[in-house]
Amino acid sequence: MENSFEDLIASYIENKVGISEHFLSTTLANNLKQNLIALNKQSLLLEAGVGNSEKVSYDGAIRSDSIYWLDKKHNNAFENEFFAQIEAFIVYLNQSCYTGITGYEFHYSLYESGDFYLKHLDQFKNNPSRKYSMISYLNSNWQESDGGELLIHQVNNNQKIAPTQGKTVFFKSDELVHEVLVTQNTRMSITGWLKSD
């Protein structure tokens, strides 16, 4: 587990974008994916908004995915296993990089064919608590023709990241503008933020 943590941190230091190809084990990624599929079949996912609870709007011209917030109160074994891994990463991050992270929030994100999310920053103007963004992908057998890449905009080096299963991406929430390109296939992930309140 610590190897994947170090992969995230080392690649983040090198390029402002941390990537671990195997942050999630195959078993955990598959279990989380099946959980997301079951939630979607029960119509429990909601239209994703733009903004936070103080000021949220819904605009399908900006983003068109659906989400479901993870919560320990659900007492879901697979979500709790994911939370345990995030908490271990936070301890490692705080000890090695003195980041002062004190909390987190995560949701499932589902993009159907044709869905996208235009360029944006992850930190709100009226609430700077989100410090780092993390996205863990749940898509096995993803092909280049499926689209749906995460496109991160940097001054001299835009980076396109395929949403392949097990991969986790990590970057500062207030620093990098990014977008999700139009997907041609069902695209699943867990997206969230490490916070300092």
In sequence order, which residues have a C-beta less than 8 Å from that of residue 146 and are 6 or more positions away? 139, 183, 184, 185, 187
Per residue in 28-85, pLDDT (tens digit) is: 999 999 999 999 999 999 987 665 555 566 667 788 899 999 999 999 999 999 999 9
Per-residue confidence (pLDDT) for residue 53, from 0 to 100 = 53
Write down all domains in the chain, each with its CATH number in brackets: 1-49+60-195 (2.60.120.620)
Asked if 110 contacts 64 with a C-beta cutoff of 8 angstroms, the reply is no
- The first and second tokens of residue 75, run together, are 């007492």
- What end-to-end distance do the CA atoms of the chain give, in Å? 27
- In the chain, count H helices and then E strands: 3, 13
pTM, two decimal places: 0.92
